[in-house]
Amino acid sequence: MKKNAGELGLKLFLRIFEIAPSAQNLFSFLKDSDVPLDQNPKLKPHAITVFVMVGESAVQLRKSGKITLKDSKLEDLGATHFKYGVVDEHFEVTKYALLETIKEAVPEMWSREMKRAWSVAYDQLKTAIKTEMKPPA
């Protein structure tokens, strides 16, 4: 999936916007753009980051039982998502869309265990970001 992260990440966000069209307003570069969503060059990097970071969290959880991100990186992530007004519901829709996207990417590997592993990884990463979601000091 990592090799295909660009395509899958994009698919993930197209799905998110299908379920929650208003989430597009969070992204400054989408709000004021006439370019079709799937061709917007700025959407892909965030989409890839989300996809890859959740995957890396899953690997870390298996290796060490916890996710490790530099404190400064986590602070930045918290501050950015706070600033752009990301709320619980966005994280929930994103989790649902992520699990669906993975299920479609590797149907032959999909199982209850795999769903659980990705859910746990996503929830831990989300919790870590949310604890840092506050106005800048």
C-alpha 21/C-alpha 125 separation (Å) is: 24
Residue 134: phi and psi, rounded to 5, are: -150, 165
| Cβ 61 to ligand HEM shortest distance, Å | 14
Quote the DSSP letter at residue 22: G
Shorter beta-carbon distance to ligand HEM: residue 64 or 72 = 72
| Cβ 90 to ligand HEM shortest distance, Å | 4
Shorter beta-carbon distance to ligand HEM: residue 23 or 107 = 23
C-alpha 118/C-alpha 80 separation (Å) is: 23
Rule CB under 6 A: which residues touch ligand HEM? 16, 23, 26-29, 46, 49-50, 53-54, 76-77, 80-81, 84, 86, 90-91, 94, 125-126
| Cβ 39 to ligand HEM shortest distance, Å | 17
C-alpha 61/C-alpha 117 separation (Å) is: 9
| Cβ 55 to ligand HEM shortest distance, Å | 10
Shorter beta-carbon distance to ligand HEM: residue 61 or 108 = 61
C-alpha 132/C-alpha 86 separation (Å) is: 12
Residue nearest to ligand HEM (CB): 80
C-alpha 67/C-alpha 47 separation (Å) is: 20
